[in-house]
Amino acid sequence: MTQPSKLRQLLQIPVIVAALGYFVDIYDLLLFSIVRIPSLRYLGVTEDKLLDEGLYLINMQMAGMLVGGILWGVLGDKKGRLSVLFGSILLYSLANIANGLVTTVGQYAVWRFIAGVGLAGELGAGITLVAEILPKEIRGYGTSLVASVGVLGAVLAYFIADWFDWQIAYFIGGGLGISLLLLRVSVFESGIFKNVKEQAVARGNFFQLFSSGRQFFKYLRCILIGLPIWFVIGFLVSLSPEFGQALGIATPIVAGKAIMCAYIGLSLGDMASGLLSQLIQSRKKVVLTFISLTSLFMALYLFMPLAAANALYLLCGGLGFSIGYWALFVTIAAEQFGTNLRATVATTVPNFVRGSINVITPLFLYFKTQYGIIGSASLVGVITITIALLALWKLDETFGKDLNFLEE
């Protein structure tokens, strides 16, 4: 019997569903940043409070993702990857619809938190499922495909928010997620997980990650290498209107357009990092290359004299490409740990990175009062890059690693 081609192995239904699920996930995750200003104005927030209230709501969303990351991660190892994949899609789809019905900032905060809980599960479950069902020789292609397709959800979010009222944009996101659930009948569970489920072994024990110094620091390094990614998205790109003003650009910067440019770059970067990883057979060398690119584009974004809005949008695209090791960093986390902890790690790691915004925000705001928005971003950017490089230095190479093993 002939072996199926690599393309047929890659384009399995679980891979496609994981990619589409992440597409809707990113649509909702970034939609708030795109409609932040019009939705807050609708709710009666004054111009001088738009930044502060926007950061508050982002922090509520990220707090929900921290809670959801642990919840879905543990469930992914105890109940299975599919239960998390579809449970998270259902929750954030319903929360999306509710976001379009809010009438106060308080209600908005509650539903951003609940949406955050839902959004926390899809990527980790999807990457874990894809990593376990694909042959190790093409695993990098599969996880890159999920991320490359997924991040294009931000592009759709920009156009939907441009064509429709912000409430309708939320309703459309909810409808997309619910429609995706109809595909669940064609998705199968990871065989590796099924085998472990039949064994008498502890699964999804979050505290096992802290059972020894070796486990804890390995887990911590997986988180820290992703810090620059969310600093770029959560601050440099999401707050691009404020940065454009500080840089003296006369034309007002549209946050949605900046986010769209960044995510087009991110999609291309995810694809490039995955292909490069397969080509040179290394995860660490590719991550090092992309972190170095991130530091370069940060410097250009903050210090290059810009006269036109289009130049800033172009730099947002470059920043997006440079942080295109997002899928690779989650794949590394999944490959570092055994099957009984893999979903817990792969789900919590990206959400702890996203949740780091709750630590970075007060630091950013403190430096902002001392050095202004450009000086603050420079200092925080240097800190995140330095921490990521130190974490990467001690991390094990995982390219081609057999994932059929357990954490004792």
Q: What percent of the chain has pLDDT over 90?
A: 18
Q: What percent of the chain has pLDDT over 70?
A: 89
pLDDT tens-digit profile of 260-271? Answer: 889 889 888 888
- Band (pLDDT 50/70/90 cuts) for residue 15 is confident
- Highest-confidence range of 69-78, 151-160, 190-199, 384-393, by mean pLDDT? 384-393
Burial class (CB in 10 A: 0-12, 13-18, 19+), 282: middle
Smallest CA-to-CA distance from 155 within 35, 253, 261 is with 261
- Band (pLDDT 50/70/90 cuts) for residue 174 is confident
- Band (pLDDT 50/70/90 cuts) for residue 405 is low
Q: Does position 184 have pLDDT exceeding 60, yes or no?
A: no
Candidate from 117-126, 221-230, 313-322 with smallest mean pLDDT = 117-126
What is the C-alpha to C-alpha distance for residues 211 and 357, in angstroms, rounded to an integer? 27
What is the C-alpha to C-alpha distance for residues 268 and 351, in angstroms, rounded to an integer? 22
- Band (pLDDT 50/70/90 cuts) for residue 76 is confident
Smallest CA-to-CA distance from 303 within 390, 243, 253, 229 is with 243
What is the C-alpha to C-alpha distance for residues 149 and 131, in angstroms, rounded to an integer? 16
Residues 6+ apart with CB under 8 A from 254: 241
Residue 335 token pair = 């490959």
The answer to whether 255 and 238 have CB atoms below 8 angstroms apart is yes
Confidence at residue 263, expressed as pLDDT on a 0 to 100 scale: 84
Domains of the chain from N-terminus onward = 12-183+206-393 (1.20.1250.20)
Confidence at residue 226, expressed as pLDDT on a 0 to 100 scale: 92
Confidence at residue 402, expressed as pLDDT on a 0 to 100 scale: 66
| Mean of all residue pLDDT scores within the chain | 82
Confidence at residue 197, expressed as pLDDT on a 0 to 100 scale: 56
Confidence at residue 292, expressed as pLDDT on a 0 to 100 scale: 96
Q: Does position 357 have pLDDT exceeding 80, yes or no?
A: no
Average of pLDDT values for 104-118? 89
Q: Does position 93 have pLDDT exceeding 80, yes or no?
A: yes
Helix, strand, coil fractions of the chain, as percent rounded to 5: 80, 0, 20
Average of pLDDT values for 51-76? 82
Confidence at residue 315, expressed as pLDDT on a 0 to 100 scale: 94
pLDDT, greater one: 322 or 357: 322
Q: Does position 1 have pLDDT exceeding 50, yes or no?
A: no
How big is the chain, counted in residues?
408
What is the C-alpha to C-alpha distance for residues 19 and 332, in angstroms, rounded to an integer? 18
CB atoms within 10 A of CB 281: 11
What is the C-alpha to C-alpha distance for residues 166 and 240, in angstroms, rounded to an integer? 19
Confidence at residue 290, expressed as pLDDT on a 0 to 100 scale: 96
In this prediction the pTM is 0.80
Candidate from 29-38, 121-130, 196-205, 237-246 with smallest mean pLDDT = 196-205
- Convert 307-333 to b/e letters by CB count within 10 Å (16 or more is b): eebeebbebbbbbbbbbbbbbbbbbbb
Average of pLDDT values for 345-360? 82
Residue 91: CA count within 13 A, CB half-sphere: 23
pLDDT, greater one: 360 or 383: 383
Confidence at residue 320, expressed as pLDDT on a 0 to 100 scale: 93
- Highest-confidence range of 258-262, 335-339, 371-375, by mean pLDDT? 371-375
- Band (pLDDT 50/70/90 cuts) for residue 2 is very low
